[in-house]
Copies of this chain bind each other. A is one copy, B any other.
Amino acid sequence: METPNAADSTPDDAPESTGIAAQDWAQASAEPQYRAAVIDLLGALAYGELAAFERLAEDAKLAPTIDDKAELAKMASAEFHHFERLRNRIAAIEAEPNEAMEPFAAALDEFHRQTAPSDWLEGLVKAYVGDSIASDFYREVATRLDTDTRDLVLQVLDDTGHASFAVEKVRAAIKADPRVGGRLALWARRLMGEALSQAQRVVADRDALSTMLVGGVADGFDLAEVGRMFSRITEAHTKRMAALGLSA
């Protein structure tokens, strides 16, 4: 997963590290509801990495050159190694990795089914837009996590190099044929809509995770804060679209 705009998406008003954000896992996990929320979060992130691996490998088949193919295979492989770290972490905190991932498989699989790219450029835009939004979201959440979980989450969100690769290729394609820009802008909007719709489904299904997000546990977001988070993520998305040469 990538975050070219990590700086943009870091909340200016990040809370001081007090409460759970100042604790390590051993302390924070004494609270059962917090523990359940973190297992949910790691499960969602792990399955997301595995799905990203599949998607990038799939896109590699659409690559116009062997170099492009190898570049995507490299990123897919990096996502797989992130997946392994998350899965090992879930096991290390004595949860069952498959059980932790399972609740998120349907929503993520459905998202990918609904948004199968029809060509190389659509695949690049999807990977770039999808990973960036996911990454922004996890970074927002990370500021509220215990120190051990936060370190891991930030490490697996490290840029795998996809962002600059995608931006460069998409910009070049639009330059060569400006009509491509209109088609890809529509595509990016469809991706955003489908992502929000699957995210709502997850939030409705997973109590522990949702409660953490809207305030109950951790250093909680309140509802107003969730609203601000979404506008930060949307703003970052708009900036990224502009960087691609697309209107959001």
Q: Hey, which bits of chain A sit against chain B, CB under 8 A?
A: 47, 50, 53-54, 57-58, 60-61, 65-67, 69-70, 73-74, 76-77, 80-81, 83-84, 87, 97-98, 101-102, 105
A3 CB to closest chain B CB (Å) equals 22
A50, B69: Cβ atoms under 8 Å? yes
Expressed in whole angstroms, the Cα–Cα distance for A57 and B67 within the complex equals 18
Closest residue to A87 on the B side, CB-wise? B70
A196 CB to closest chain B CB (Å) equals 25
B contact residues around A53 at 8 Å (CB): 57, 60, 73, 76-77
Known: A47-B66, A66-B105, A102-B66. A73 touches B54 (CB 8 A): yes
Number of copies of this protein chain within its complex: 2
Known: A54-B60, A58-B57. A80 touches B76 (CB 8 A): yes
B contact residues around A66 at 8 Å (CB): 47, 50, 97-98, 101-102, 105
Expressed in whole angstroms, the Cα–Cα distance for A87 and B61 within the complex equals 19
A213 CB to closest chain B CB (Å) equals 24
A222 CB to closest chain B CB (Å) equals 34
A80, B83: Cβ atoms under 8 Å? no
